[in-house]
Amino acid sequence: MRAKLLFAAFLLAVSGLLAGCGRDTVNSPTTTPTSSVDQAEVASVLASEPAVIEDAQFENAEVTALGGATPGSFAAIRPLRFWRNITDVQRRFEFAFADSDSAGRPTTAIVTVHKLLGGEFNILAGTPDTEATPADSTLNVIHKPLADHWVRRILLKRRPSPDGARSMWRIVATSSVKVTSRDAQTRIESLRVQTAGLDTTITDPLQFVFLRRILKFEPETPITLTVTTLKNDDVVVLCRFGNRLRFRNNGDNTYTGVWHLPPPGAGPGPGPVGPPIGHFGVNALSRGTLFDDTAPYDSQAWLLPFLVVPDEIADALP
C-alpha cells in the first residue's frame, strides 16, 4: 500500500510538471523549438512508469531496530530503534536532449530527478548503561532535523512505434538512487552483491543500467551485501520493507549483511503482490548520528532496482 501511495504521488508530481504548477520544477538546457513537445512526451512516459522512477523505500517511516547496539565507552546514548518522518518533498526535473535526427528532433533524453526531503530523524534511546530490555521510564525519543538530497537518472530513446506510424519515447535505462544528507561526511564507496550465481560490485550508483541488465534474483535467494565506507565505525543497515537489518562491522571499513529474498507472494515487493521492478538498498550512518544526541544527522544511502525471476516483464524490457 505504501508503494502504491508513493507511485500515485509521483503521477501527481509529473502531472503538475506538465501543467506548470505545484512544488515540482523543471529545468532543461535544450532550447530547440521541439524541445517543449519532447519534454512533455518524455514526462508522460515517466508518469506511466513510476516503478522505474520511485524507490518506494527511503521515504517510509519503518522502524529499524538496534537493540543489540553496543554503545562503547564514549557514547552519550544507547540507540534502540530509529525511523524517519519525511514531512516535505520538493521535486526537480532536469531534461537534456541529444542525438538529433534528420528532422532536427532529439532521439536521446536524459532526465535527472532530484528530490529534497525534509523532516526528522528519530531515535528511541536510553542511557549508555541501559539494559537490553529497558523500562519505559529510562527511554526518550531524540529528534534530529533531516535534510536529504535524493537523485536518480533516467535514459530514454525515441524510436519508431511498432506500426511505424510515429515515433515514441521509451525508457531504456535507469540508474540506482543516491540519497545524501546535507553536509554529510559519511560516504559509501562501494556495494558488493553476491548470490550463488552472481558477484558484482557497484561503485557509482548513478551509472546507467539497461533495463534488461537490472539485477535479477530468484525467490528465497540469500543475498550477501558488503558495503565499504570511509570509516570503520559507521552503522550500516539494509533498506527494504520488513528487512531493516543491521550489517556486521568487519573492522576494516567494510560491513556485511545477508538478505533472504522471501518466497513468491510473501510480503511487499516484486511479483504478484508488488510492482514488477522493486528496490533494495543500504544506508550508512555516522556513529554520532545514532550514539550522540547532539551530533547532527549524517547519512548516505544507495537504492538499487531489481527483478524477481522468472518474471514476464523481463521479456518485455528494452
Mean pLDDT for 254-269 is: 77
- Alpha helical stretches, state H, the chain: 2-19, 35-48, 50-53, 287-291, 313-316
Distance CA(237)–CA(227), nearest Å, equals 10
Q: Which of 19-23, 217-221, 258-262 is predicted with the least confidence, judged by mean pLDDT? A: 19-23
Q: Which of 54-68, 140-154, 246-260 is predicted with the least confidence, judged by mean pLDDT? A: 54-68
Higher pLDDT, 90 or 104: 90
**Percentage of the chain lying above the pLDDT 90 cut:** 58
Structural domains counted in the chain? 1
The per-residue pLDDT for 160 is 79
The per-residue pLDDT for 76 is 83
CB 233 within 8 A of CB 287: yes
CB 259 within 8 A of CB 245: yes
Complete DSSP assignment for 127-178 = -TT--SS--GGG-EEEEEEEEEEEEEEEEEEEEE-TTSSSEEEEEEEE--EE
Q: Which of 154-158, 184-188, 309-313 is predicted with the least confidence, judged by mean pLDDT? A: 309-313
Mean pLDDT for 8-35 is: 52
Compute the mean pLDDT over every residue in the chain, rounded to the nearest whole number. Answer: 83
Q: Which of 84-88, 123-127, 256-260 is predicted with the least confidence, judged by mean pLDDT? A: 123-127
Containing structural domain, residue 63: 2-316
Mean pLDDT for 65-85 is: 79
Task: Let me know how long the chain is.
Answer: 318
Exposed e or buried b for every residue in 272-294, given b needs 16+ CB within 10 A?
eebbbbbbbbbbbbbbbbbbbbe
Distance CA(135)–CA(150), nearest Å, equals 37
Mean pLDDT for 32-40 is: 75
The per-residue pLDDT for 235 is 96
